[in-house]
A and B are shown apart, each in its own frame.
Chain A
Amino acid sequence: MGSNRLDSSARFQRNSTQGRRAWLRWLPAVAAPVAIASGALIGSLPAGASNPLPAKSPAEVLELAAGHHVQTFSGTVERSAELGLPELPATGKPSAAASPGSVASVIELLSGKHTARLYVDGKDNARVQVMDQLAERDVVRHGSDVWFYSSKDNTAAHLTLPAHTEDPADAKDHAPSNDTQTTPGLHTPAELAQQFLTKVGPSTAVSVGPDVSVAGRAAYNLLIEPRTDATLVSKVAIAVDGENGMPLSVQVTARGADKPAFTSEFTSLSLDAPDPSVFTFTPPPGGTVKELPVPDRSHEPADAHDPGAKHAQAKGNVAVTGTGWETVVGTEHGSAAAAEQMLQDPLLSQAAVAVPGGRLLSTALLNVLITDDGRIFAGMVPPERLQAAAATAR
C-alpha cells in the first residue's frame, strides 16, 4: 500500500512535468507573435523627443518654412488620399483602365496610395519616379531637357524648356495635357505646403503642435485651421523640418473627419547630392518618343492638382471667385456637348450625382460641379458655394 501511494505520487509529479514540457514547447509559438507585436508597437510609437527642437512661435515656423532653400536632396514620398472617390478596380495595379488622359487615370492618382522617389540637385536637375506596381512613371529634368516616361506603354515625351524657366518644379507644370496623369502625383510635400501656406491669412488660425518626426527628422508641426465654414478643409498639418525649414509632410483633414483625407510625406530623405546618373535619360529602344512643343505659358494649368481646373483650362478662360480657402475656380464658357462628352466617361458618370443646375463630383476635400451648360466649377468648398458661383458667373 505504502509503495502504491508512493507510485501514485510519483506519477502525479511526472504528469505535471509532462504538462509543463508540452507547455514549454508551445512557448516559442506564443513568444514569436508577442515579440513581433511589441516590436511593431515600439516601432509605431512616436520617437521620443530625445532632442527637442527649440520652441518657436507659429510665425517663426512660417518664416522658417518660407525661407527654406533646400535644393539638393533625394527621398521617397508617400502620398495617400481617401477622398471618397469611387474605388477603382485594382487600384495601383497596372490596368488598362488607367490609360493616359482618361478620367480614370486622374482619379487613380488622386486616390489610394502612391509612392514616388524624388531626386533634386539644384535648379536644373530633377527626377521624379512614381512607382506603381510593376510600372513606373518618370519625369526627368536635366538642364533644359525634360523627359516624360511611362513604362506601362513604353512611351517617352521630350520637351526643351525655354531658358528662362527658373524653378525645377515648373518643369512638372509643363506636363502636356495628355500626360497630365503624371502631374498630380509629382508634388513634393514642400510644393503642396506652399499652396496651403499661400492661403494663410486673417481667416486662418495658425498654431504649432508638438514636434513630430518625419523620415527620421525632427520637425515642427505647423497646424493651419481655416476660420471659415465655407471650405471643406478643417485642418492642415505641415511638418516643417526643424533644421532647414523644408516642409516634410502635409496632412489635410476634411471637415467632420478625424483622420486626414490626404497625406503626402517623406518616408525617407537624404540631403546629399543624388548620383548624377539619375538625371540622364535616354529613351529606351522600341518605345514611342514624342517631341513636345515648347509650352505656351498662358496655357499653364492654374492648379494641376485639381482636375476641374485642368479641364477648365482646356475648355475656356478661367474665372476665379472668392479668396483664400473659399476660392472657386470656374470656366466662363462651356458647351453642353462638352459636358455630355465628359460625362460619357463611365467613371465620371458613375461618380457624379445630379444636383440642381448640373452634376456634382463630390469628394472629401474637393467638389467639382459640371453645369448643364458645360461650365465647370471647382473648389475646396461646399457644393452650394459652387452652385452660387455658377449662378453669379452666368
Chain B
Amino acid sequence: MTAGLAIETRGLSKHFGQQAAVDHVDLAVPHGTVFGFLGPNGSGKTTTIRMLLGLAAASAGTVNLLGREMPDKLHEVLPRVGALVEGPAFYPFLSGAANLHRLDSASPHTVPATRKARVQQALERVGLEHAAGKRVHAYSLGMKQRLGIANALLSPRDLLVLDEPTNGLDPQGTREVRNLVRSLAHQGTTVFVSSHLLAEVDQMCTHAAVMSAGKLVAQGPLAELRQAGSTRLRLVTPDAGAARQVLAGLGLAPAPGEPDAAQPQAAQPERIDVPGRPAVPEPQRARLDGETIVATLGTGSGQRAVLPEDVVAQLVQAGVRVRGFAVERESLEDRFVALTGEGFDVAQ
C-alpha cells in the first residue's frame, strides 16, 4: 500500500452541457486494495469509470492509472487493466468463447499463441466452461455478466475495474464473484468495484469511496469510513440544566435537547408496552422520562478528546441523575444515507 496509487484522479470533472456529471473528483485507490466505489444511480460512478478507462475525455482534471497518465499512455496502461463497464456487451450471434477470442484479438498487445488457453482459463474461472460454445444470444443475464468478468480476466491484470459486477447474478453467483475478487486481491491485483449495493461493498472491500451528485463525498479504508461518522452520546436526565453545564464544561459544544428525535429510540420499549398494558400507572413512566440531551462526541478522525466514561464520571460527580446514557455510532448505512441523501436504494 505504500507503493503508490493504482488509480489517482485530480480534479476530475465531466460536464455535459451545463450539467456537471462529475465534479472535481480526487480519487486515490491504493495498490492491492479492493476498492468499493459507492453511490446512488446517476451519481457519476459510470462516467468516472469511463474517464478512468479513456472512453470519455475529462472536461478537466487528470487521471493516473497504474502510475501512468491517461489517456496519453492508454496503450501502456489498458493492457494491464481488465474492465467490466456498465454491464456486459457481446455479439449475440457468436458463442461465448468466440466473443472472448474476438475481444482478445482486438488488442494488439495480446499474444495470439496463448489466446485459446487464456480464453479457456477465463471461462473456467467464472464457471462458464460448459456454456463456452453456446451463442451469447442464449445466455441469461447472469451468464453474460460472468462472461463480462471473464473478458476482464483474459490476461493477467494489475487492475480490475468492475462496474456493478454482481448485477443480475443469483446469490451463488454473487458469492462466487465475491470470492473471485478476494482471490484476485490476494494475488495482488487491485480491484475497483463500483456498486450501489452497500452489503456487497461491506463484504468485499477494504476501501471505499462514496459519490453523490457528481461529487466525491468520502473515501478511505472501510474501517475508517465506519468510524468517520459522528459519535453521539445520548443522555436522559431530569437535571437537564446541570447536565448541560457539565457537558459544556467538557468542551462538548452546546448540548441541544432533542426530545422528539430521541423519543422513538428512548421510549420505544414503553410505547410497545402501552397498547399491551394499558393499566400501567402514569407516574412510573414519568419517572423514567427526563429531558434528552444529545451531544456529538467527536466528528471525523482525530479530535476525539473526550471519552464517554469521562463524561459519565463528570456527570455523576456533578450530581446529575443519569437515567439513560448511550454512545451511538452511525452504521455504515446511516453514514451513506447521510452522505448521499435520501433516495439511496440500499434495499436493492
> Contacts of A8 on B, CB cut-off 8 Å?
11
B57–A14 touching, CB < 8 Å: no
> Contacts of B11 on A, CB cut-off 8 Å?
7-8, 11
CB nearest to A14 among chain B residues = B62
Closest-CB distance, B84 to chain A (whole angstroms)? 27
B57–A11 touching, CB < 8 Å: no
Cβ of A15 under 8 Å from chain B: yes
Cβ of B10 under 8 Å from chain A: yes
A11–B58 touching, CB < 8 Å: no
Cβ of A18 under 8 Å from chain B: yes
Q: How far is the CA of A14 from the CA of B62 in the complex (A)?
A: 8
- Out of A7, A18, A22, name the residue touching B10 (CB < 8 Å): A7
CB nearest to B58 among chain A residues = A18
Closest-CB distance, A23 to chain B (whole angstroms)? 13
What's the tally of chain A residues with a CB closer than 8 Å to chain B?
A: 7
Q: How far is the CA of A22 from the CA of B61 in the complex (A)?
A: 15
Cβ of B138 under 8 Å from chain A: no
Cβ of B60 under 8 Å from chain A: yes
List B residues 108-153 near A (Cβ within 8 Å).
none
Give a binary string over B281-321; 1 marks a CB under 8 Å from any A CB, 0 the rest.
00000000000000000000000000000000000000000
Give a binary string over A10-36; 1 marks a CB under 8 Å from any B CB, 0 the rest.
010011001000100000000000000
Closest-CB distance, B68 to chain A (whole angstroms)? 15
B57–A22 touching, CB < 8 Å: yes
> Contacts of A18 on B, CB cut-off 8 Å?
57-58, 60
Query: What DSSP secondary structure best describes chain B's contact surface?
Result: strand
> Contacts of B62 on A, CB cut-off 8 Å?
11, 14
Q: How far is the CA of A355 from the CA of B10 in the complex (A)?
A: 86
Closest-CB distance, A180 to chain B (whole angstroms)? 61
B60–A15 touching, CB < 8 Å: yes
Q: How far is the CA of A8 from the CA of B60 in the complex (A)?
A: 10
Closest-CB distance, B118 to chain A (whole angstroms)? 34
> Contacts of B58 on A, CB cut-off 8 Å?
18
CB nearest to A22 among chain B residues = B57
Closest-CB distance, B326 to chain A (whole angstroms)? 40
CB nearest to A17 among chain B residues = B72
CB nearest to B11 among chain A residues = A11
Closest-CB distance, B64 to chain A (whole angstroms)? 12
CB nearest to A12 among chain B residues = B60
> Contacts of A7 on B, CB cut-off 8 Å?
10-11
> Contacts of A14 on B, CB cut-off 8 Å?
60-62
Closest-CB distance, A13 to chain B (whole angstroms)? 10
Q: How far is the CA of A15 from the CA of B61 in the complex (A)?
A: 7
List B residues 182-207 near A (Cβ within 8 Å).
none
Q: How far is the CA of A8 from the CA of B61 in the complex (A)?
A: 9
Closest-CB distance, B18 to chain A (whole angstroms)? 17
Closest-CB distance, A20 to chain B (whole angstroms)? 13
Closest-CB distance, A4 to chain B (whole angstroms)? 11
Closest-CB distance, A9 to chain B (whole angstroms)? 11
Q: How far is the CA of A22 from the CA of B71 in the complex (A)?
A: 12
Q: How far is the CA of A315 from the CA of B58 in the complex (A)?
A: 83
Give a binary string over B50-63; 1 marks a CB under 8 Å from any A CB, 0 the rest.
00000001101110
Q: How far is the CA of A23 from the CA of B10 in the complex (A)?
A: 23
CB nearest to B26 among chain A residues = A7
> Contacts of A11 on B, CB cut-off 8 Å?
10-11, 60-62
Give a binary string over A34-72; 1 marks a CB under 8 Å from any B CB, 0 the rest.
000000000000000000000000000000000000000
Q: How far is the CA of A11 from the CA of B57 in the complex (A)?
A: 14
> Contacts of B10 on A, CB cut-off 8 Å?
7, 11
Give a binary string over B1-19; 1 marks a CB under 8 Å from any A CB, 0 the rest.
0000000001100000000
Q: How far is the CA of A36 from the CA of B60 in the complex (A)?
A: 36
Give a binary string over B144-188; 1 marks a CB under 8 Å from any A CB, 0 the rest.
000000000000000000000000000000000000000000000
List B residues 30-76 near A (Cβ within 8 Å).
57-58, 60-62
CB nearest to A11 among chain B residues = B11
Closest-CB distance, A6 to chain B (whole angstroms)? 11
CB nearest to B12 among chain A residues = A11
Q: How far is the CA of A22 from the CA of B58 in the complex (A)?
A: 11
Q: How far is the CA of A22 from the CA of B60 in the complex (A)?
A: 13
Q: How far is the CA of A14 from the CA of B70 in the complex (A)?
A: 12
Q: How far is the CA of A14 from the CA of B10 in the complex (A)?
A: 11
> Contacts of A22 on B, CB cut-off 8 Å?
57
Q: How far is the CA of A18 from the CA of B10 in the complex (A)?
A: 15
CB nearest to A8 among chain B residues = B11
Q: How far is the CA of A14 from the CA of B24 in the complex (A)?
A: 14
> Contacts of B60 on A, CB cut-off 8 Å?
11, 14-15, 18
Closest-CB distance, B33 to chain A (whole angstroms)? 24
Q: How far is the CA of A7 from the CA of B62 in the complex (A)?
A: 11
List A residues 282-314 near B (Cβ within 8 Å).
none
> Contacts of B61 on A, CB cut-off 8 Å?
11, 14
Q: How far is the CA of A14 from the CA of B57 in the complex (A)?
A: 12
Q: How far is the CA of A11 from the CA of B61 in the complex (A)?
A: 6
Q: How far is the CA of A189 from the CA of B273 in the complex (A)?
A: 117
Q: How far is the CA of A18 from the CA of B12 in the complex (A)?
A: 13
Q: How far is the CA of A317 from the CA of B12 in the complex (A)?
A: 93
Closest-CB distance, B75 to chain A (whole angstroms)? 16
Q: How far is the CA of A183 from the CA of B62 in the complex (A)?
A: 75
> Contacts of B57 on A, CB cut-off 8 Å?
18, 22
Q: How far is the CA of A11 from the CA of B24 in the complex (A)?
A: 10
Closest-CB distance, A1 to chain B (whole angstroms)? 16
Closest-CB distance, B270 to chain A (whole angstroms)? 53
Q: How far is the CA of A15 from the CA of B10 in the complex (A)?
A: 12
Closest-CB distance, A393 to chain B (whole angstroms)? 80
Closest-CB distance, A160 to chain B (whole angstroms)? 68
CB nearest to B60 among chain A residues = A15
Closest-CB distance, B149 to chain A (whole angstroms)? 32
Closest-CB distance, B59 to chain A (whole angstroms)? 8
> Contacts of A15 on B, CB cut-off 8 Å?
60
Q: How far is the CA of A89 from the CA of B45 in the complex (A)?
A: 61
Task: Name 16 A/B residue pairs within 8 A (Cβ), A-sorted.
Answer: A7-B10, A7-B11, A8-B11, A11-B10, A11-B11, A11-B60, A11-B61, A11-B62, A14-B60, A14-B61, A14-B62, A15-B60, A18-B57, A18-B58, A18-B60, A22-B57
User: Which A residues form the contact surface with B (CB < 8 A)?
Assistant: 7-8, 11, 14-15, 18, 22
Given contacts A18-B57, A22-B57, 13 further A-B contacts (CB under 8 A): A7-B11, A8-B11, A11-B10, A11-B11, A11-B60, A11-B61, A11-B62, A14-B60, A14-B61, A14-B62, A15-B60, A18-B58, A18-B60
Report, nearest first, the 5 A-B pairs whose CB atoms are least far apart.
A11-B11, A15-B60, A14-B62, A11-B60, A11-B61
